[in-house]
Structure 1
Amino acid sequence: MVTPITKFAKYLSTVLIGMSLVGCDWWSTPPKSDNNTQPKVVTWSDLPGWERDAYEQAWPALLNNCQAMQKRKVTAWLTICQQAQTLNPDRASAKAFFEQHFQPQQIMSSEGKTTGFMTGYYEPLLMASYIADERFKYPIYKTPANLLTIDLGELYPELKDKRVRGRLEGSRVVPYYDRAAIEGDTKPLAGNEILWADNRDDVFFLHIQGSGRAQLPDGSIIGVGYDNQNGRSYLPIGKVLIERKLVEREHMNMFTLRAWLDSHPDQAQEILNQNPSYVFFKLRENVTQGPIGALNVPLVAERSIAVDPKTIPLGTLLWVDSHYPDSKTPLQKLVFAQDTGGAIRGELRADFFYGTGEQAEQWAGRMKQNTQFYQLTPLPIK
């Protein structure tokens, strides 16, 4: 018997909706990529700035990474992780450890390009309450019970790891509510609120960042982490403003985008609705560590990045050669691919996690830098 879910999966198998954390791409549609180019083997001296990193500061991210790689029984990492967990290295010994266990390779696109693009993201702080009132009236929703997640690989093996989302409408499975419907007058998700924020745009940018922190009326702070998504494709509203000639491309960043929304309250919701993607959250009380990324380990400020897992496997160790935004200061350091993003597509594309706080917000909001990426591949076990 052909079930409604089977019909829905067949209908959407060519669409392949399904995303995780949304990334910080304010102005462009993410490029598609099918990388058939093998990384180029290089030496450590070929890595720009390699001699200058504080390698030991990457150790917490390495140990987090090992939690996931050991659970996944990734053979190439087992010896590395066993040794890493016994060490508390200084700068010199950490550098020697990475050079002993990894082989650097420069990542190239399918067209042979070596320069890509890196944006940034961070953990924003919102003012919120468990109870709605005149101030706290903008909902942050948990994953609703009627959100269906359909694994297409169970129906069609050639679509392994492809998932779509939808909901039942009578006996039919239909796409899940988009942003306009969720935030419209009918409020179809009423009752699924986990928090109420005091600013609509703060909630929208929480969706963009994928996680954040909420300060409650008593001054305590809790974490708000990504849990699920409505299955709708992500569309950067900065791109909409540029196409409508409302903001010039060269001036587009998180702050100009927010300023436009603040100064155009009558048009803001219509612009927000152009991005149909909607994120659902869960609470976490432990805010002493970073948010949980797609690798299911805590992210570490300036040592974790989001990548496209179709081109760079989660858990990969990389060296990035870039610059801090609005600065000539090099951003050259060891980072771990521990997260994903809806706007992050292609082998030469990443989102750099800056952590939390005002400086992190400033850097993440302006980060759109040309970057070269080097994959550090575990050496064979001897």
Structure 2
Amino acid sequence: MAWWARGALAAILGTLAACSSPPLLPREPTAPATPGQPPVAAPAVAVARWVAVDWKDLPGWGGDDLMAAWPALLAGCQRPAPGWAEFCARAALQPPADALEAALLLMKHLRAWRLAADGGDTTGLLTGYFEPQLTASRTRQGAFQWPLHTLPADPALRRLPRRDIDGHPRFAALELAFLDDPFALLQLQIQGSGRLVTRDETGAERISRVAFAGHNDQPFESVAKALLARGELVDASWKGLSDWARRNPAKVRDALAVNPRVVYFREEALPDATQGPRGAQGVPLTPGRSVAIDRSVIALGTPLWLESTEPLSPTPMRRLVLAQDTGGAILGAVRADLFWGWGDEAGLQAGRTKQPLRLWALLPEGLKP
């Protein structure tokens, strides 16, 4: 945003005020859908404090390129939550020309609410997730020995733990593709979706998406934690795990069996490689602008003002994001999982993201938390 625009926005902020009140508002619990972590049943209802604040209280407001977030906002408006239809219609019919117009539109029609935990703590945790892009084979050959499976129709078959699935004859017909790295498969299952790069019979490269289709209702256990506890692993990064697997091929199946959870996938065409996977809201996720949240606290589709730091850096990260996904590990009022995109660089950023977070929700005037 240009200096003159920031100055104009600052002048406007100086004239705005909002009432401040600290309601305690429990929400009904909702089980997470498509996650950045494997979905699990939500525990007790999260309780949050919502405090109405002035726009000038949002740190860094006016410094973000809001136009970079606008496609994510419009995508969320394809499935507006109750109370959002009027604002979404306005945003679609009167698109802002620049970041200043976007800020003014938000300030005119929305109200800012600071989020805090029940005890009043306004600082929580930001993590990251991404969509892996992995080389795969349509047949079991060479190093490609680790299958992805579609969802079994038989409920009894679907609930089998990982140890009983390996080598099970009825699962042969459910194999979608094969990966050459067992921990790439585990990573894919934890992230919940991914891209497969395969080659057809002519040798032409084809990229498709595999999306979350269900899981086997077994608990999730950390393989890395178990290996660390046994002293077999020092580096618990995905690279460290893959390196361990290459050094210890005979131990891999037993190591993976520590985690009985299996995620099943469905394959989808990928006509637009620039489009992210669909999150729990049912719209494509936007890199750097979509977050997973606890939907017992925050409604899907809600714009959020996020304050944190860049991964592995003290540089402030202050930006508009959209609550468009959920996750089994994303629980509480001040908790978010930022979608970084797809591929190796996004994976690095996601792995580095674990820093303090503050959140503000933006709601239409008249809509109460």
User: For this structure pair, what is the TM-score category when the shorter chain's length is used for normalisation?
Assistant: 0.7 to 0.9
2:128–2:354 CA contact under 8 A, matched in 1? yes
CA distance in 2, matches of 1:104, 1:259: 47
CA distance in 1, matches of 2:243, 2:343: 20
Q: 2:46 maps to what in 1?
A: 35
Deviation at 1:333, TM superposition (A): 0.9
Q: 1:338 maps to what in 2?
A: 324
Q: 1:202 maps to what in 2?
A: 184
One-letter amino acid matched to 1:283: E
Residues 320-365 of structure 1, C-alpha deviations (whole Å, 9 max, x = no match): 1111211122221111111111222222222110001332111111
Unaligned runs of at least 5 residues, structure 1: 1-15, 148-166, 169-174
Residues 6-59 of structure 1, C-alpha deviations (whole Å, 9 max, x = no match): xxxxxxxxxx9976445359xxx9996643342122222211222211101111
Change (3 A) 1:379 1:176: same
One-letter amino acid matched to 2:89: Q
Q: 1:7 maps to what in 2?
A: none
Q: 2:312 maps to what in 1?
A: 326
One-letter amino acid matched to 2:147: P
Deviation at 1:190, TM superposition (A): 2.0
Q: Does 1:314 align with 2:300?
A: yes
CA distance in 2, matches of 1:17, 1:38: 19
Which of the residues 82, 89, 94 maps onto 1:82? Answer: 89
One-letter amino acid matched to 1:53: D
Q: What TM-score do you get using the length of structure 2 for normalisation?
A: 0.81
Q: 1:126 maps to what in 2?
A: 134
Which of the residues 186, 189, 193 maps onto 2:175? Answer: 193
Q: 1:284 maps to what in 2?
A: 268
Q: Does 1:49 align with 2:60?
A: yes
Provide the aligned C-alpha RMSD in A. 2.8
2:35–2:325 CA contact under 8 A, matched in 1? no
One-letter amino acid matched to 1:359: E
2:48–2:297 CA contact under 8 A, matched in 1? no
Unaligned runs of at least 5 residues, structure 2: 1-28
Q: 2:194 maps to what in 1?
A: 212
2:305–2:360 CA contact under 8 A, matched in 1? yes
1:18–1:232 CA contact under 8 A, matched in 2? no
Which of the residues 99, 120, 131 maps onto 2:107? Answer: 99
1:20–1:340 CA contact under 8 A, matched in 2? yes
Change (3 A) 1:96 1:283: same
Q: 2:249 maps to what in 1?
A: 265
Q: What TM-score do you get using the length of structure 1 for normalisation?
A: 0.78
* 1:234 counterpart SS class: coil
CA distance in 2, matches of 1:231, 1:30: 10
Q: Does 1:23 align with 2:36?
A: yes
Deviation at 1:317, TM superposition (A): 1.5
CA distance in 2, matches of 1:262, 1:310: 42
CA distance in 2, matches of 1:107, 1:242: 36
Deviation at 1:232, TM superposition (A): 2.0
Q: 1:181 maps to what in 2?
A: 164
Q: Percent identity?
A: 35
* 1:85 counterpart SS class: helix
